[in-house]
């Protein structure tokens, strides 16, 4: 029923927007909508584990090969067919580097690379970011030259991307049991002047630019921002008051029987990133159980995709669904739903489901395995696994993989299997204390 829902006559009408914002005829679906998408229990088969082994190993390889051996900075993106060579593009991303540090923990745990080589790479990465990388009050520029660390001319100092880097830093600092790594990680975290990024406001500024100062945008509405606020609340050196946790809005979106906190125009990754590091399972604050919230957001997103009408010869179905900020034939875009936004054209973005593996393991893993089975012999699959996005009906396959999308994929896959990243990151006392200060309690 789900695969054919868009063609079944019924009484529920969902208005949808199409490629470039143009109208698409609404779809009639059956009165039984939304479909039952229970979380269920996850009991992986040998085939599941074999797929995930390969999936994780190829993703981790990106963070080894597409990073500077000298300073550990990870490229923002790279071609998926370089045969092990480093992409000649020189743009690194601090968010990709943060994900990369956590991915190296996975690579070490699973023996993908030599332990001594990984330790040396992590030591070099942290030393460079502490002692050589340009920063403003401990916050880093978003995009930098991968060889020198110098910020690109138009790059901003980013509060959120710094938070992602710090999560990777703290994960590595706790995981390796290496005194040098732990000390460097602590210094990078404790150097951050969190009140500075508030810019005298009640919520965090998104960015600061040399010459013009703070931009107007703020993290004032629920998204991936939880890691930013919790890192700041837990800081032992320059904290913000726990009351700031109450200052961002938490609007509720209702879609086809699912109700969850969302701004209504957030790509799916906003319900994933903070959960890669902070363990919200079985916990609630004064507002929500955010893990359950992300389950609902993923269920709603799958439901939205399965109800989407035919576009350019492609139907979203149980074996082909999921969109989040990514490349597409027209470049890079933010897109998603519900409600529909962005130039949705039938492209699938594998990291949308991969980043939600811990929320809907059965549905997400089944879809990823189906994608692999159907498209692994095409340009959709390469040295580092799936390309960032592809649209086979339109004969379009991205040539690149993106560091942040590889990162959320491998971290969530490993959290599903072992909880490794959650365990390492949450063993930092400051991170656990931040959740307590923000009012989190165990939910019975």
Planar angle of CA 204, 209, 211, nearest 5 degrees: 135
C-alpha span between 242 and 27 (Å, rounded) = 46
Question: What would the CATH number be for the domain defined by 5-442?
Answer: 1.50.10.140
244 and 202 Cβ atoms separated by less than 8 Å: yes
Phi-psi region of 211 (alpha: psi -120 to 50; beta: other; left: phi over 0): left
Question: Which pLDDT does position 315 carry in this prediction?
Answer: 82
The SS3 assignment for 283 reads strand
Calculate the dihedral angle through the C-alpha atoms of 106, 108, 110, 111, rounding to the nearest 10 degrees. 150
Q: For residue 83, what are its two tokens?
A: 């045969």
Q: For residue 233, what are its two tokens?
A: 């609340």
Question: Which pLDDT does position 19 carry in this prediction?
Answer: 30
> What percent helix, strand, coil does the chain show, rounded to 5?
40, 20, 40
Residues 6+ apart with CB under 8 A from 232: 192, 194, 197, 204, 239, 240, 244
Residue in 30, 22, 28, 36 with CA at minimum distance from that of residue 309: 28
C-alpha span between 243 and 238 (Å, rounded) = 15
Measured distance between the N- and C-terminal CA atoms of the chain, rounded to whole angstroms: 36
The SS3 assignment for 439 reads coil
How many CB atoms neighbour CB 299 within 10 A? 25
228 and 248 Cβ atoms separated by less than 8 Å: no
C-alpha span between 381 and 418 (Å, rounded) = 25
The SS3 assignment for 390 reads strand
Backbone angles phi, psi at 123, to 5 degrees: -60, -45
C-alpha span between 132 and 437 (Å, rounded) = 33
Q: E strands of 91-235, at which residues?
A: 91-93, 135-136, 139-140, 143-145, 157-158, 204-205, 207-209, 213-214, 218-219
Q: How many helices (H) and strands (E) does the chain have?
A: 13, 23
The SS3 assignment for 256 reads coil
Question: Which pLDDT does position 310 carry in this prediction?
Answer: 77
221 and 248 Cβ atoms separated by less than 8 Å: yes
Domain boundaries, the chain: 5-442
C-alpha span between 262 and 247 (Å, rounded) = 15
Q: E strands of 2-54, at which residues?
A: 12-17, 23-29
Calculate the dihedral angle through the C-alpha atoms of 151, 153, 154, 155, rounding to the nearest 10 degrees. 0
Q: For residue 157, what are its two tokens?
A: 């100092």
C-alpha span between 439 and 436 (Å, rounded) = 5
Question: Which pLDDT does position 5 carry in this prediction?
Answer: 30
Classify strands 331-333 and 400-402 as parallel, antiparallel or unpaired.
unpaired
Q: Give one DSSP letter per residue of 302-342, joined into a string.
A: HHHHHTPPPBTTB--BTTB----SEEETTEEE--BTTTTBS
87 and 79 Cβ atoms separated by less than 8 Å: yes
Question: Which pLDDT does position 265 carry in this prediction?
Answer: 86
Q: What is the mean pLDDT of each run of 10 residues along the chain (444 residues)?
A: 26 26 32 48 92 98 98 98 95 98 98 98 98 98 98 97 98 98 98 98 98 97 98 98 98 94 94 98 96 96 90 84 97 96 95 97 97 96 98 96 98 96 98 98 87
Q: For 346-389, give the secondary structure using H, E and C.
A: CCECHHHHHCCCCCCHHHHHHHHHHHHHHHCCCCCEECCEECCC
161 and 227 Cβ atoms separated by less than 8 Å: no
Residue in 319, 358, 316 with CA at minimum distance from that of residue 337: 316
> What is the number of residues in the chain?
444
């Amino acid at each position: 029923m789900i695969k054919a829902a868009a063609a079944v006559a019924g009484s529920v009408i969902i208005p949808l927007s199409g490629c470039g914002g143009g109208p698409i005829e609404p779809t009639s679906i059956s009165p039984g909508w939304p479909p039952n998408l229970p979380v269920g229990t996850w009991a992986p088969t040998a085939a599941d584990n074999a797929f995930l082994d390969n999936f994780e190993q190829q993703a981790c390889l990106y963070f080894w090969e597409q990073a500077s051996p000298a300073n550990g900075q990870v490229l923002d993106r790279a071609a998926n067919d370089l045969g092990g060579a480093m992409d000649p593009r020189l743009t690194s991303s601090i968010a990709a580097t943060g994900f990369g540090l956590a991915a190296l923990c996975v690579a070490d745990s699973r023996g993908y690379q030599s332990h001594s080589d990984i330790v040396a790479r992590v030591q070099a990465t942290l030393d460079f970011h502490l002692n050589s990388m340009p920063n403003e009050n401990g916050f880093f520029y978003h995009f930098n030259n991968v060889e020198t660390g110098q910020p690109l001319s138009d790059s901003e100092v980013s509060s959120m991307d710094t938070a992602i880097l710090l999560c990777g830093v703290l994960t590595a600092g706790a995981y390796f049991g290496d005194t040098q790594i732990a000390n460097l990680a602590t210094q990078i975290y404790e150097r951050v002047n969190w009140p500075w990024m508030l810019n005298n406001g009640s919520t965090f500024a998104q960015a600061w630019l040399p010459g013009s100062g703070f931009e107007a945008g703020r993290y004032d509405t629920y998204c991936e921002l939880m890691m930013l606020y919790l890192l700041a609340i837990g800081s032992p050196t320059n904290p913000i008051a726990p009351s700031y946790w109450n200052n961002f809005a938490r609007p509720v979106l209702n879609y086809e029987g699912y109700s969850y906190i969302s701004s209504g125009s957030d790509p799916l990754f906003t319900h994933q990133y903070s959960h890669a590091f902070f363990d919200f399972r079985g916990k609630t604050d004064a507002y929500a159980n955010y893990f359950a919230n992300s389950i609902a957001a993923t269920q709603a997103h799958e439901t939205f995709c399965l109800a989407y009408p035919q576009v350019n010869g492609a139907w979203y179905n149980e074996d082909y669904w999921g969109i989040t900020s990514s490349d597409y034939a027209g470049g890079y875009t933010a897109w998603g739903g519900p409600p529909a936004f962005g130039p949705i054209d039938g492209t699938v973005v594998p990291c949308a489901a991969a980043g939600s593996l811990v929320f809907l393991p059965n549905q997400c893993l089944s879809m990823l395995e189906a994608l692999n089975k159907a498209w692994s012999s095409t340009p959709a699959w390469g040295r580092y696994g799936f390309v960032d996005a592809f649209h086979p009906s339109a004969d379009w396959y991205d040539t690149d993989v993106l560091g942040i999308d590889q990162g959320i994929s491998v971290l969530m896959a490993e959290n599903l299997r072992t909880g490794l990243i959650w365990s390492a990151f949450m063993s930092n006392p400051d991170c656990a204390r931040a959740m307590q200060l923000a009012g989190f309690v165990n939910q019975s």
